Amino acid sequence: MSMVRPWWHPCLALVILLGATASAPPAYRYRLDAPGSQVSARVAYFGVGHKTVRFPVMRGALRLVPERTEAIDLDVELDARALDAGGKTDSDYLKGKAFFDVANHPVVRFSGNRMTMTGETTARVDGRITARGVTRPAVLTVTFAQPPARASGRDPIALTATTAINRRDFGMTSYGLIVGKTVKITIRARLVPD
């Protein structure tokens, strides 16, 4: 005896599928407003002062689900060829093989794929930094201007993020007695709906 499938079976499957799709929380996409953003790296210099390097050329994107803030997708790329250390000599040296080696590795990148809220407007974003062709885990400490759980997808998002890396982990080992090994990175980002 053959089994007859009920006539409504395909319809029921379609209704369930549409219901699941309709109940999925919205995901909003943003792009980095480069003119409205700043990225800098600060390192100890000669043990008594600091040298700050700025990265004026950048691009990036953010995907955010306000109802599930842990499901973040953040990507920021910096053009290391455009870095500015405050003077041509220092800038050219940092672009050379001893440091960023921009001829072979022109991009510095941070990608984040998991966010843990530590307050209404504060969070940690786990991800990876790639510099000089080397990728290492990194954690950003982030402060949002407004709670990300209230994002509407219509208004810009402003945030400040900081992290610290060991430059030697990325093959930048030169001048260990002059240039500190810990580099403090600060990102001040403005992201606009895409």
Kindly state the average pLDDT of the residues 77-84.
Answer: 97
> Tens of pLDDT along 111-149?
999 999 999 999 999 999 999 999 999 999 999 999 999
Structural domains present in the chain: 27-193 (2.40.128.110)
- pLDDT confidence of residue 44: 92
Query: By the 8 A CB rule, do 23 and 63 touch?
Result: no
Least confident of 9-18, 31-40, 114-123, 175-184: 9-18
- CB crowding 149-164: b at 16 or more within 10 Å, else e: eebeeeeebbbebebe
Name the nearest CA neighbour of 113 among 62, 149, 37: 62
pTM of the model: 0.83
Kindly state the average pLDDT of the residues 80-90.
Answer: 95
